[in-house]
Amino acid sequence: MEKHEEIFNRAPDLVAGDADFFSADNEAKAHAAGVKKVAIPNKQTRSPGRWKHQRQRWFRDAQRWRVGCEGRISVLKRRHGLFRCRYNGSHGMERWVGFGVIANNLINISRAMTK
């Protein structure tokens, strides 16, 4: 959230996270920072109010988006060998990931064009 605020000069509208990141404190901190919607599931709760909150469409959509991002990362690692960066430093890492994303996008574009 801090990096988002540093880049865009505002808090994100939505934060989605894995259940491992859930705590009432984390949720409170996100809301205090100005986040409108926090989609971090709590798998341990028995509260009907919490379950109702987690079943809202925006909450489920945010979780699907997060899971989709993880799937894309997995594809980049498998298909383009992004397990280990061959460049040095943070700029090298950005270049390495950027090349993987470009290669993946080219594959997806070519598949779409052949259909």
The token pair at 61 is 């959509």
| Spatial separation of the C-alpha atoms in residues 33 and 19, rounded to whole Å | 20
- Per-residue pLDDT reduced to its tens digit, 41-73: 998 888 999 999 999 999 999 999 998 888 888
pTM: 0.70
pLDDT at residue 83 is higher than 90: no
Q: Which domain holds residue 61?
A: 2-80
Q: How many CB atoms lie within 10 A of CB 4?
A: 15
- What DSSP state is assigned to residue 9? S
Same domain, 111 and 57: no
Pairing of strands 37-39, 14-16: parallel
Residue 34 and residue 54 in one domain = yes
Pairwise CA distance, residues 94 & 87, whole Å: 9
Indicate whether 87 and 31 sit together in one domain. Answer: no
Q: Indicate if 73 and 91 belong to the same structural domain.
A: no
